[in-house]
Amino acid sequence: MIDKTWPDAASAVACVEDGATVMIGGFGRSGQPVELIDALIAHGARELTIVNNNAGNGDTGLAALIAAGRVRKIVCSFPRQADSWVFDERYRSGRIELELVPQGNLAERIRAAGAGIGGFYTPTGVGTLLAEGAELRTIGGRDHVLQFPLHADVALIGALAADRWGNLVYRRTARNFGPVMATAARTTIAQVDAVVPLGQLDPEAVVTPGIYVDRVVVVGERPWLREGRFVGGVDIDGHPIADETQEAVR
C-alpha cells in the first residue's frame, strides 16, 4: 500500500544533508512552504544551495533559513525586493553566493531536469551578462544560448491538498514553481492543508501526479480559508488584519 503521508515536518525533512541542493517552491511569500522551511532550520543542515525564485521576504521562511546561516548559495531570478533585507545584508558582506538566472530559464531548466532533457537552446538572455559563457548557436536565423538542467536533492513545496498517493492540487498563483520542482528533485516533500481520501481529487484536475511526490506533511488550513472556502481577513503576508486596518489594504 502506498501512503506518502508523513507524521510531521521534522521527520520529513530529516533526509536533507549538509551541502544539499534544495529547491523551495513559492513566488515571494505566495506558495512558500514555511512549515517545511522551519523544520529544515530546526534540522540544522548547512552549506545548502537553495533554488527559489527570490531570496526571502521579511524575517520568516526562506529569509529565516538564510539568517540562520545555512545557505551557501542561492540560485534565483529576483533576489532584490522591498523586504529582502536578510539576503541583502549577507550578499553585500560576501557571505552568500548568488547565481542570477532569468526567471524563464530557471523554470525551464527545472523542467528539463524533471523531463530528462540534457540541455536546450533559448533566445532568452542572448547578448546579456546573464548568458556570458553560455554556448551560442544560431537556429533558424535567431541566436540562442544553451542552458542545462537544474537538478536538486530535495524539493520543498506547498500545495493545497493531497491524497495518500501524493497527488497534489494547488491554489491560484500559489501553484507557481511547485509542479516543476516536484519533478526535478530526488526527494520531493509537499506541505498541504489537508490529505483527502484516495479518489477524491478529480483525476482531470490533479496538477502534480503522485509519482513526483515522496512525502506529504499536513500543516492545517491556511488562515484565509475555512473548510476550503475563501474568508479573507488577512493582509498580503497572510497576517490577520484588524477591522480598522482594512482600509490600508490595496
Partner 1 sequence: MNDRISRDELAARVAADIPDGAYVNLGIGAPTRVADFLPAEREIVLHTENGLLGMGPAPAAGAVDPDLVNAGKQAVTEVAGAAYFHHADSFAMMRGGHLDVCVLGAFQVAENGDLANWSTGGEGAIPAVGGAMDLAIGAKSVYVMTDLLTRAGEPKLVRACSYPLTGVRCVTRVYTDRAVFDVTERGFAVRELFGTATVAELEELTGLSFVTAEGAAA
Q: Among 28-36, 69-77, 132-140, 239-247, which window interacts with its own copies (CB under 8 A)?
A: 132-140
Least spacing, CB of residue 119 vs its own copies, in Å: 5
Q: Quick one: which of 56, 24, 26, 29 has its CA closest to 237?
A: 29
CB 86 within 8 A of CB 56: yes
Q: Smaller CB distance to its own copies: residue 7 or 140?
A: 140
Q: Smaller CB distance to partner 1: residue 46 or 226?
A: 226
Select the residue interacting with its own copies from 44, 123, 127, 232 (CB under 8 A). Answer: 123
Least spacing, CB of residue 174 vs its own copies, in Å: 11
Select the residue interacting with its own copies from 171, 177, 182, 193 (CB under 8 A). Answer: 171
- Residue 120 interacts, among partner 1, its own copies, none and using kind-specific CB cut-offs from 5 to 8 Å, with its own copies
- Residue 137 interacts, among partner 1, its own copies, none and using kind-specific CB cut-offs from 5 to 8 Å, with its own copies
Could you say which residues in the range 206-245 bind its own copies, by CB under 8 A?
Answer: 207
Amino acid symbol at 89 = E
CA end-to-end distance (rounded Å), the chain: 48
Least spacing, CB of residue 108 vs its own copies, in Å: 7
Least spacing, CB of residue 106 vs its own copies, in Å: 14
Q: Smaller CB distance to its own copies: residue 12 or 150?
A: 150
Check residue 144 for interaction with its own copies (CB under 8 A): yes
* 21 vs 152: CA distance, rounded Å: 5
Question: Which cell numbers in the block locate residue 247?
Answer: 482600509
* 149 vs 118: CA distance, rounded Å: 6
Give me the DSSP letters along 223-236: TTEETTEE---B-T
What are the φ and ψ backbone dihedral angles of 72, each rounded to 5 degrees? -80, -40
- Residue 212 interacts, among its own copies, partner 1, none and using kind-specific CB cut-offs from 5 to 8 Å, with partner 1
What are the φ and ψ backbone dihedral angles of 168, each rounded to 5 degrees? -125, 145
- Residue 30 interacts, among partner 1, its own copies, none and using kind-specific CB cut-offs from 5 to 8 Å, with partner 1
Q: Smaller CB distance to its own copies: residue 94 or 203?
A: 203
Could you say which residues in the range 74-113 bind its own copies, by CB under 8 A?
Answer: 108, 112
Select the residue interacting with its own copies from 2, 82, 205, 248 (CB under 8 A). Answer: 205
* 89 vs 50: CA distance, rounded Å: 17
Q: Smaller CB distance to its own copies: residue 80 or 172?
A: 172
* 244 vs 247: CA distance, rounded Å: 7
* 241 vs 181: CA distance, rounded Å: 32
Cα 140–chain centre separation:
35
